Structure formats: structure tokens, C-alpha cells
Structure 1
């Protein structure tokens, strides 16, 4: 577990830009939907009389934030839960609307740095990848999923063009012995994906795809954005920091859809037209400055998008994309 002293030095990616976009006001109520090391919460709490509800599905992150809870004099509440449940979390705290929500999507630096969590191929560890403490691990998926499902997972969520060859190699290798460690999987992928000096590690996209799939991260994001729309008060702001194109595309599309009137068409002119529920604040995504990238290379891929809630009712929730899910793949469905 990360020690409090180390956590207090944690500087969140695009922290300065998040505060500029969020504009926390005195006495406001905010949700840090992906608490992590608490960097955004700590910055918001510097505004007098603010209250923060911090959410994280990772029990280690929640436990590591207890010191900040103690120092906040009751202004920080930490909840172990998925950020897609942020509306229910707020309701359970007696909060019906909030002034702002910040989300930092994806795996945290703490999770990547801890080999035992199995997120990174840079240090050998069990092939786990779970952000929470429940459900099948990445090793379980590797051992159970069909070749077709593995190829789809790696292609859709990892954007890896060699996904079929990697899936085929996994199926052949697992017949000999279980693929249970990060190094075993990384070594296998490295034999298939050839890279040039200076390129990303050959296993990067495969690990990304498995991690996103195991944690249902893109479905979680879809649901969390819709939940944020429900609980933000008029004038409240939603700020999202993402780290790869799949996440950023979901956020961009959500904001674009909610920022324009939608509903009726020439085929269904009687349909009710939904008024825009957000005003987009970032016409282009905000990216890290050179000094931040030099201090934290992870910031290089970060993109921030922000929008402000209007007084229009929230839009009807849409269905989730039809990509593979953990339940169906593990059932062989």
C-alpha cells in the first residue's frame, strides 16, 4: 500500500487545467469520481467550505485516502464503488445535485507501479488487472475465452491490428501450460508483434485491451457520463481527463450529442425534441504543457474535455455498444 507521505506528493495529471475548468466555488459540492491518489480532491478542498465525495472501486485507493479524510474536517467522504454508480452514491449521502464532477479515466499510476496488481508488463506479477477485488482476472479470461473472443477483445479494446495472431498464439500456448503472469503474456506477444526502437512495447495494446475488458471500463464510462448528467445542477461542470482514443471518443461524442437539440426527424416529426443539456467549454481537448510532460511522461497522452450543465432535463439514457462483455465471454456466450 502506498504510504501517506508518498501520496501527498502525488500531482494529478492536468491538475491545474482541471481546476480552471471545474472552477470550484466556496461552499460547493463536488464529486471526484475516480479518487485514486486524491490529487483532484485535495485541490478542490483548498477552496473554503467545499465538500467532496470521492469514489473509487479500488479498496487500496480508499484506504490510502483516510489521512486526507481526517485532515478535511468532515468535508471529504470516500466511498468504495464504481464511478458509474455516482448518482446512487450521491443519493445515499443525501445529495441530490452537485456543483461539479471530475473523472480521470483508466488505470492509475499507483496501480501500474504495483507489480502484484498485474497491470504492467514492465515488472513480473500475477496476471490480475482488476481495479476492484471481485470478478474474473485477466488470467481467467486468457484461460477461458475462445480464440475469436480473445481476438475481438484485443482488437476492439486494445486497437491491436495483430489481434488474431496473438489470440491464436495464446490458445496454442495455454494448452501447454497456464498463462498466469504478466511476463509470460508479454513474452508471448513480443514474439508476434515486432517493433522498432523508440516504439511502444509490443505488448502495450494487448495489455490495454485486456485491462479495459476485465474492468468493463468503457461501459463504466458510458454509464458514468449519463449519471453525471443527472446529478449536475444547472451551471455545474463536468471535467473528464482521458488517456487514449477510445475513452476520448466516448467523451467527445457524449458532449457533442448533449450539446445539440435532439429528438424528432422527418420520419418521426411528433417525437419530443430534447433541449441541449450541456454547453461545451473545450472546443478542442486540453493537453499537458511541456513542463508537465517532462515531469510525468504519462501526461503526454492526456486529454481534458469539459462542459457545463444547462437547466434542460437530462436526455433519455441510450443503450451500451454491442461489444464483448465479461459475463458473456466467461459463459462462452
Structure 2
């Protein structure tokens, strides 16, 4: 019996799955923006396996289109994968008391630096702002990334990680983050405002993009090719970064077989995570891979340079309508920056959207 799977159209998202799937799984691809452009329910109606990112789990649970992992795997297996995963990679797929995807791929926002930048790499947000006076520094603002960048900067500025409340972010903290982002919305940010992370990193790799992007989802592929180097996300009071990565979810349309479960177990094995997946352009989710000297050397130091950031990464909201809120908030923040709007005018709109879309509870 064969299965149909849907993943995203980048070597990191496709090559290892396609090479491993063989006759068991036929993998189709959609663009990176496909995560937001089509509902999880629509994807699950057509595919047995769906690669998704963690903010979609609340939507998927509301649509009742996924099989919880607790129905497929033993509790001790899930616990072992949770211990093995780098940062909150498995935890991010836990919602309403159950897990909904296996963490195949781990990523978070880190600092990307063009290889030809001769200046010292900044470690703090104050140093990033100072560097932007001398070289092109761009924020990642396209699609959902304006909101994600804003959240991460707020996280870096906060005394303690924020908890959900009546507002998206404490207003005083939000104004401070807004001021920092406004200072970095210069020519380089404006030129890159429509570029998703892949496009922005490819421009940097070609020497046409900014010299530095302080927060962008890390792609090992550009480091391994020697085109871009990476460092931990900038700090203020702490590292601020919002988790990305992807997980494999099993849809309710799938007629699950022992062969399929064994294949998924193999993808989450130490051997696959440290060997097969990195060898096929993937970005593994296991800490053992991120700390393996041979894996790190093949990636030109990508894993060692960014592991502290992913270990400290923040988890995004996962409730139903989280994606709708993220879309509105990101467009509002991006447009406000590009139009030089005041902080409170933008933040009032974001908070109104938060009140409309946020459904607290169940995110454990």
C-alpha cells in the first residue's frame, strides 16, 4: 500500500522525504506560502501525511482532520522523542493535551550574515542598530515574518517571557520593540520587504541582498554551500527568537499500516537524524545531530553557531484562528513600518485583531 504526502518545495523540505519514501510514500510539494494559503483541512482531505508548522495545530484540531500521535505511538516513544528533540520542537506540536505532529525538521530565527561582511558580527540589538549605520541591514517582514520579528524582539526585551493576556504584547514593551524596528526600516529593509526567507537568503548568497539580517529562519543549505554564515539571534535582556521548523502529521484519511509507522519511527531515529537527513539537504530535529561535530562541520558550523537560540526559542500561539491573527498582525506591522506610522496607531489595530481572534486556553 502506498500513501500520499504533502511537503514544501525546498530541498530542505523535500529531498530527504522523497529519497526515504520509496514506494511507500509519494511526496507532492507546495510553496512555502502554501502553509498559510490553504487550510489544513483541505490538505488533509487530499493527503495521508501533511508537513505543517506548529501554529496550525489548533486549526487542525478544530477541523478534526489529524490523528493524535498518542493513538499511533506508545507514551514512552513520544517521551523519548521529546527528550531527543532540540529546543521545544516536539512540545510545539502538543495542543489540547495531545501531540499532533512528529518534529522532522527544527529551525528558529537566527542571524544571517553575508560571507563578505568584514565587520564584527553584532551580538546585541544595540550593536545591530549601530551596524545598520554603516552597512545594509534588513529586517525580514514578508508574509507572517513582520509579526514574528516583532514578537521575537519583544521576547528579547522582556524581563520574563510573556504570557497571553488582554493584549498581544504589553504596550510599553511593544513601543520599545516598535522603535527598534522603525530604526532598522531603512533602504535595505524596504528593498527586501516582499522577500520570504528563502528569497532573502538567496539574495544574500548571490551578493545582492543585505549584508546582515538579524532575525530570519535559518536554512542550513546556504551555510553548507558556503554562501551565508549564521550566528545566534541578537540579545537585549535575553535571546529573542520564535520557533519555526516543521512536523509530519497523519491525516484522518490515512489507513495507517505498521509499515507506515515503522517508516515514521525511522525518520525519528538517531541514525536518520544524524546521517540520512543531513546527507539529503534536511535540517534535523534531534539535539544529537545539532551537537554532532561531523554534522556541524559539513554544515560549516551552522548548528554550533545557532544552537543556543533554538534551545531558547519561543513557541507561537496555536489556537484556532492563530494563523488569521498572525496574517492581520503581520500586514499591519509591515505596512505601518513602511509608511512610517506611529507605534500606537499600529498597535491599537494589532490589539483589536488579537481580541477578535485570540481564543485562550488549551495550549498545553
TM over 0.5: no
Rg (Cα) greater in structure? 1
Normalising by the residue count of structure 2, what TM-score does the alignment of the two structures yield? 0.33
Normalising by the residue count of structure 1, what TM-score does the alignment of the two structures yield? 0.35
- Specify which structure has the bigger relative contact order, considering alpha-carbon pairs within 8 angstroms and separated by 6 or more residues: 2
